[in-house]
Amino acid sequence: MLLQSTGIWGFLSFGWADVLDIAMVAVIIFLLIRSIKGDSTVLNIVLVLVSMLVVQVVVSALNMRMMTVLMNTLLDVGVLAVIILFQPEIRHALNRLAVRSGIARRSGQLFNRILGIKEEKMGRQSVEELGEAVRAMSAEKTGALIVLQHKSSMEEYMNTGDRFEAEINRRLIMNIFFKNSPLHDGAMIIVGDHIAAARCQLPMTNRTDIPAHYGMRHRAAIGLSEDTDADILVVSEETGNVSFVRGGEIRPVASMKDLRELLDTVMNQEEKG
């Protein structure tokens, strides 16, 4: 039995298709607002555009021709201005949505299979060397920021630093982050069993709820983990404390045993992936 559309307020025709239409738009707006909730400026602009969209729908339903033309023009110009002014934020938001939804991981696996590309995995020896390096830097209070690449490509961030190809070695890692080393300022990126780049710049998070005792390294680690599926290790220069960052969340590493378990988890995850 088909549902007949009924008149509402004498000028709107409302049926199941309209309910579905409104629900889909509401979900899209909700996901958009949630993805940028940490940036108040962008959020305010999006809310203004949503309000203009609502007004445009109402004046169009009322058949107010001049107002409809005006609102259509304002929306076209407003959306174009937002895309131009906030291109980096939009790109990061879309990338974050792809990572969190699993689209990036599944599409990456599909393309790798089609192109015959084998993903690099971190082996047991590399895990041991990395764990020992982090333990030593923690004891000496040597600040460090180490990125472990997974499915999301780190090419964009490698290009901001110095690229090289070296096996994971505890002494090399400690020398790179030694405070007088020219490579100590920035992040090291590890791909599989190799150190791929150092002195790399990472995106800072816009979140305002991060505790004050976390420094710039932690904010950079959170920023990268929000946009990608990478895992990040942070060694605090002030306290020597070690943190493990994944998916925008910081997990303090209480002991070297915990660190080894986390690294083992990363390795097992890569083997299963």
Domain that holds residue 185: 124-272
| Residue 68 shares a structural domain with residue 132 | no
pTM over 0.85: no
- Per-position DSSP letters for 135-173, written without gaps between them: HHHHHHT--EEEEE--SS--HHHHTTSEEEEEE--HHHH
Instruction: Say if residue 128 is in the same domain as residue 198.
Output: yes
The domain that holds 168 is classified in CATH as: 3.40.1700.10
Q: Are residues 178 and 232 in the same domain?
A: yes
One domain for residues 130 and 262: yes
Say how many domains are in the chain: 2
Do residues 141 and 51 both lie within one domain? no
What are 115-134's pLDDT values in tens digits? 554 556 778 888 889 999 99
Q: Which tens digits make up the pLDDT trace of 222-255? A: 999 888 889 999 999 999 999 999 988 899 998 8
Average pLDDT score, the chain: 79
48 has pLDDT over 50? yes
Q: Same domain for 134 and 218?
A: yes
Order of strands, sheet of 194-200, starting from the edge strand that comes earlier in the sequence? 162-167, 194-200, 187-191, 144-148, 231-235, 242-246, 249-253
Domain boundary among 66, 85, 104: 85
Same domain for 129 and 72?
Answer: no
54 and 153 fall within a common domain: no
In a domain, 100, yes or no: no
User: Is the residue at 117 inside a domain?
Assistant: no
Contact 147, 189 (CB under 8 A): yes
Which pLDDT tens digit goes with each residue over 154-198? 888 999 999 988 999 999 999 999 988 888 889 999 998 899 999
